[in-house]
Chains A and B, each alone.
Chain A
Amino acid sequence: MRRAARRLLWSAFVVWAVVSIVFVVDAWLPGDPARFAAGPQARPADVARIREELGLNRPPLVRYARLWRRLLHVGPRTAGEGAAADRAHATCVDVLPLGAIAVHVDLGRSFQYRQPVARLVAARAPRSLALAAAGLALQLGAGLAVGVLCATRRGSWIDRAFGFVTPLGLSVPMFFSGLLFQYLFAYEWRLLPFDGFGVTLADHLRGLVLPALTLGIYGAAYYARLVRDELRAILPEDWVRTARAKGASGRRVLARHALRNALVPVATAVGLDLGVLFGGSIVTETVFRWPGLGDLSVKAAVNRDGPVIVGCVVVTSIAVVASNLAVDLLCARLDPRLR
């Protein structure tokens, strides 16, 4: 219990540190966010007015204090029946309704989109999560299958083919494999939509296939290599031979003993990957016009949209920390020595 509490505190510290660093860097970067919000040809008087309107005239420390003061707070409900149109909470999103009041998340208002950042992030996070989950599922499914196959058939033609297919999978950049899939599946064979998110659930699912495949091919090669190498190291171990000598079938030895141990580093990698993928598969989202957090983050960085940058970092840092926490728990379950 104490260990879990310590981990939670440490996680909170990591999120605070990451967000603070990003805030400071954004505040110190050269360039005027008001100029970006107004446009390169806006007149100086108009830029000054817009700077005032966006609150950029306030000192960075005041803005920093506001960020943390407003990040999580309690206020009147802003959505649903009986919601109050309170201007003080115009940029808030309810995360926990408690009768007439609610716990709010407030990440400020985007300079470029002129919408509450919390709403922008809330709309895009599920899309990134869906893409990350689908991509990771493909990576793991294909990676595990190929890795196990190669490790158990060492020296076979499968194993040798693997030797040149995995470097290819790892080295072909995602923007290229994405374009290739677009060309083949959408342009030539007309099986799937070119890109985009669509309107209906069916559109979303169809639109998800190619970006998930692009992510999947890349990661599958990595996971296959990881699983193969781990299993190769484990299979000659004495305890594996002992299990086999005690009469356990080859499949049982592989599944219950060898693979379980090989999955510890895989789980660690998955935890790291999930957080990063959730933060946005920037290239994939751009190539396939998948409106997720990666796409939002890139545009925010280009346009000096500070509130969106910070909002995306808050969400992704929480995602990375949470997935790492989950992985630690999972690893402890897989390997009792880690408890």
Chain B
Amino acid sequence: MREPGRPKDPCDANARATSGVTAVVLAVAAAAAIALPLGCRGPLAPPVPAAHDPEVAPRRGGTLRLASMGDPRSLDPAGPSDALALQAQQLLFAGLVDFDASARIVPDLAERWTVEDGGRTYRFFLRPGVLMHDGTELTADDVKRSAERSLHPATPNPNASAFRGLAGFGAFVSGRADHLVGVAVDGKYEVSFHLDDPDASFLSILAMHTLRPVCRSAGTRYDDAWAPCGAGPFRLPPGGWRRGISLRLVRHEGYFRPGLPYLDAVEWTFDAPVTAQLFRFEDGALDVLRDMSQPTQARFLADPRWRGLGVAEADRTVFGESMNTRMPPFDNVEIRRAVAAAIDREHYRMLKPAYMSTLTQPLPPAMPGRDPSVRGQSYDYAAALDHMRKAGYPYDPVTGTGGWPRPVVYPLYDQGLLAYTAQVLAQELARIGIRLELRMVSWSAFLALQQREGGAAMSQANWEMDYPDPSSVLDPLFGSASIGPESSYNTAFYANPAVDDRLIRARREADPARRMALYGEASRIICDEAPWAFVYAYHAYDVHQPYVRDLAPHAAWGLDVVHAFVDRAGGDLPRHLGSPLP
């Protein structure tokens, strides 16, 4: 019997070598066998068919299943917010006014309004009989209570100062007054908002979620433990929100628009990785796929079975290369102009073509009133070299000599697309003699550097419009009032009295045409002085199953779920994937 623990022939080097080769071959084969199912999965699963023809009339019932890599921070319109929270809040809470799908202001809880006192007073007449989720009727008292709750100094409301134009705002948020005199109850169904100065953007600001009426259970002060309750088309059932896991909203049967919404419920699965979302979607356990990798998106676009099932949402976010006008070399306007002219925006767009569109001016394409006559910035290599010469740093592309003598530090953080665009930018600027030193930092360090005076000479900045009005982009990004030593909105630290003048006048201008003309003038100046090189606008791209009907993009809120319906053959499939929802 062979003694345990001893090799057969430890001196057989040949055998050991053969065994080593075999092990390597086996290991590679095993690794390939493991990788193949994931890497070479073949074509996408076919779409799950609808029950009826596309022309079928909307029908009630069904659940729309969505997923996200994120997790909403709060469902309270007065609380902290993010893009995902806004989607849910839009379904839970109705406002006095809202945006329609093309971003026009339309009546919602208010059936009409008047503008008085030269634009200083907005008077709203509520629809009688509007029921909140708790069954009580909405009155003007609820509007005032909700506004005061939202703007109270103890409320962690990140948008409160958007309402700083309301009369008595300063006294109320500093605690000197118990009530906000700028919001007045004039009758059971009549409420008025009084401003210190005329503000033509006030209706757009009011259409945000911040002041949307909440049920009486919310009380007069913000409370983290409050269960969201409003007058929107969907309500939150008990236990419907499991933080970091899922959210289920069910139809509010007392919704004031008869027949709407069509869906019984909307469900989100949160913190879902992109691969898991894809598996679920292909399996029919997810109705809309929003988060997907670039290759996955390319596969959907190339697959004829999925043609026509993609929805590009509105371009609401602008991206640009922000140049700190108080730091060299970008304190020299000619250098900024050179950068703006040196960037071929098409090179950026090719990184993610279905999500990006080229941008040459500050306002995103989805912005109502965007002046298409603004020529904006464009790629012109000869002009870029000329601007470098005028700046005093001529660059010779043949010999590669000249240009800005020192590298410019460009901070970036670990976010997929930014890592690519930074490399594109570095290559574009190298062609005019500006060398970028890409420096990877954490997200928090990036924000600190970018928003601090003297923190970063150049960095990528982006802005998603809070509401579809030019003031929501131009004022925070390029108005001198947005400059601060820390947490500066205006990351270029750009101050131009001519731009400030246009922005202030536009806010007060009641005539829409004249107002938009003023924003056009401001945009032209900004494009010429180039505190930012505008590069691309970004939009989400969704793919949905054929049985999801009338799911249309909404210029302000992403997707219009209220008018969508589900027409799935055989009803809802049993859920065998993922965690069941309550």
| A299 surroundings in chain B (CB, below 8 A) | 71
> Known: A32-B447, A163-B23, A232-B5. Is A112-B73 also a contact (CB below 8 A)?
yes
- What distance in Å separates the Cβ of B479 from its nearest Cβ neighbour in chain A? 12
Compute how far the CA of A118 lies from the CA of B549 in the bound complex, rounded to whole angstroms.
44
The reply to whether the CB of B146 lies closer than 8 angstroms to some CB of chain A is no
Verify B444–A31 contact, CB threshold 8 A: yes
| A193 surroundings in chain B (CB, below 8 A) | 576-579
- What distance in Å separates the Cβ of A115 from its nearest Cβ neighbour in chain B? 7
Q: Which of A3-11, A197-205, A268-276 contacts B (4 or more CB under 8 A)?
A: A197-205
Verify B489–A44 contact, CB threshold 8 A: yes
The reply to whether the CB of B554 lies closer than 8 angstroms to some CB of chain A is no
Verify B5–A154 contact, CB threshold 8 A: yes
The reply to whether the CB of A252 lies closer than 8 angstroms to some CB of chain B is no
Main secondary structure of the interface of A (DSSP, over half): helix
Compute how far the CA of A190 lies from the CA of B578 in the bound complex, rounded to whole angstroms.
11
Interface size class of A (residues with CB under 8 A): 35 or more
> Known: A163-B23, A164-B26. Is A186-B158 also a contact (CB below 8 A)?
no
The reply to whether the CB of B296 lies closer than 8 angstroms to some CB of chain A is no
Verify A197–B443 contact, CB threshold 8 A: no
The reply to whether the CB of A168 lies closer than 8 angstroms to some CB of chain B is yes
Convert B324-359 into 0s and 1s, putting 1 for each residue whose CB lies closer than 8 angstroms to a CB of A.
Answer: 000000000000000000000000000000000000
Compute how far the CA of A113 lies from the CA of B6 in the bound complex, rounded to whole angstroms.
60
> Known: A115-B224, A186-B279. Is A37-B38 also a contact (CB below 8 A)?
no
| A286 surroundings in chain B (CB, below 8 A) | 271, 273
- What distance in Å separates the Cβ of B536 from its nearest Cβ neighbour in chain A? 18
Verify A194–B445 contact, CB threshold 8 A: no
Verify A203–B6 contact, CB threshold 8 A: no
The reply to whether the CB of A182 lies closer than 8 angstroms to some CB of chain B is yes
| B38 surroundings in chain A (CB, below 8 A) | 176, 179-180, 183
Nearest A-chain residue to B441, judged by Cβ: A30
Nearest B-chain residue to A186, judged by Cβ: B577
Verify A179–B486 contact, CB threshold 8 A: no
Identify which of residues 1-49 in chain A touch chain B, using a CB-to-CB cut-off of 8 Å: 29-32, 35-47, 49
The reply to whether the CB of A236 lies closer than 8 angstroms to some CB of chain B is yes
| A183 surroundings in chain B (CB, below 8 A) | 37-38, 279
The reply to whether the CB of A184 lies closer than 8 angstroms to some CB of chain B is yes
| A155 surroundings in chain B (CB, below 8 A) | 6-8
Verify A45–B276 contact, CB threshold 8 A: no
The reply to whether the CB of B58 lies closer than 8 angstroms to some CB of chain A is no
Nearest A-chain residue to B443, judged by Cβ: A302
> Known: A46-B157, A50-B158, A113-B243. Is A180-B80 also a contact (CB below 8 A)?
no
- What distance in Å separates the Cβ of A337 from its nearest Cβ neighbour in chain B? 23
Verify B576–A190 contact, CB threshold 8 A: yes
The reply to whether the CB of A289 lies closer than 8 angstroms to some CB of chain B is yes
- What distance in Å separates the Cβ of B258 from its nearest Cβ neighbour in chain A? 34
Verify B30–A164 contact, CB threshold 8 A: yes
The reply to whether the CB of A196 lies closer than 8 angstroms to some CB of chain B is yes
Compute how far the CA of A198 lies from the CA of B269 in the bound complex, rounded to whole angstroms.
11
Nearest A-chain residue to B483, judged by Cβ: A44
Find B4's partner among A164, A176, A235 (CB 8 Å cutoff): A235
> Known: A39-B80, A50-B158. Is A179-B444 also a contact (CB below 8 A)?
no
- What distance in Å separates the Cβ of A305 from its nearest Cβ neighbour in chain B? 11
Find B79's partner among A114, A172, A186 (CB 8 Å cutoff): A114
- What distance in Å separates the Cβ of A166 from its nearest Cβ neighbour in chain B? 10
The reply to whether the CB of B220 lies closer than 8 angstroms to some CB of chain A is no
Compute how far the CA of A211 lies from the CA of B32 in the bound complex, rounded to whole angstroms.
22
Interface size for B (C-beta < 8 A) is 72
The reply to whether the CB of B100 lies closer than 8 angstroms to some CB of chain A is no
Q: Which of B159-167, B180-188, B511-519 contacts A (4 or more CB under 8 A)?
A: B159-167
| B24 surroundings in chain A (CB, below 8 A) | 164
- What distance in Å separates the Cβ of A3 from its nearest Cβ neighbour in chain B? 37
| A49 surroundings in chain B (CB, below 8 A) | 153, 156, 160, 173
Nearest B-chain residue to A153, judged by Cβ: B4
Verify B154–A38 contact, CB threshold 8 A: no
Convert B443-456 into 0s and 1s, putting 1 for each residue whose CB lies closer than 8 angstroms to a CB of A.
Answer: 11101110100000
| B486 surroundings in chain A (CB, below 8 A) | 32, 44
Verify A194–B19 contact, CB threshold 8 A: no
Find B489's partner among A43, A164, A187, A203 (CB 8 Å cutoff): A43
Verify A37–B31 contact, CB threshold 8 A: no
| A168 surroundings in chain B (CB, below 8 A) | 27, 30-31
The reply to whether the CB of A265 lies closer than 8 angstroms to some CB of chain B is no
Verify A151–B488 contact, CB threshold 8 A: no
Convert A278-304 into 0s and 1s, putting 1 for each residue whose CB lies closer than 8 angstroms to a CB of B.
Answer: 000000001101010001000100101
> Known: A38-B80, A183-B37. Is A32-B448 also a contact (CB below 8 A)?
yes
- What distance in Å separates the Cβ of A255 from its nearest Cβ neighbour in chain B? 15
Convert A38-79 into 0s and 1s, putting 1 for each residue whose CB lies closer than 8 angstroms to a CB of B.
Answer: 111111111101100110000000000000000000000000
The reply to whether the CB of B259 lies closer than 8 angstroms to some CB of chain A is no
Verify B159–A43 contact, CB threshold 8 A: yes
Compute how far the CA of A42 lies from the CA of B466 in the bound complex, rounded to whole angstroms.
10
Verify B487–A195 contact, CB threshold 8 A: no
Identify which of residues 25-64 in chain B touch chain A, using a CB-to-CB cut-off of 8 Å: 26-27, 30-31, 34, 37-38
7 A-B residue pairs with CB within 8 Å: A29-B444, A167-B27, A176-B34, A183-B279, A184-B37, A197-B245, A236-B5
Q: A50-B158, A163-B19, A187-B282 given; name 7 further pairs at CB < 8 Å.
A: A36-B447, A44-B487, A164-B26, A187-B577, A287-B276, A289-B273, A302-B443
List B residues at the A interface (Cβ < 8 Å): 4-8, 19, 23-24, 26-27, 30-31, 34, 37-38, 71, 73-74, 79-82, 153-154, 156-162, 164, 173, 224, 243-245, 269, 271-273, 275-276, 279-280, 282-283, 442-445, 447-449, 451, 463-464, 466, 476, 482, 484, 486-489, 576-582
Question: What 3 pairs across the A-B complex have the smallest Cβ distances?
Answer: A31-B444, A196-B579, A42-B158
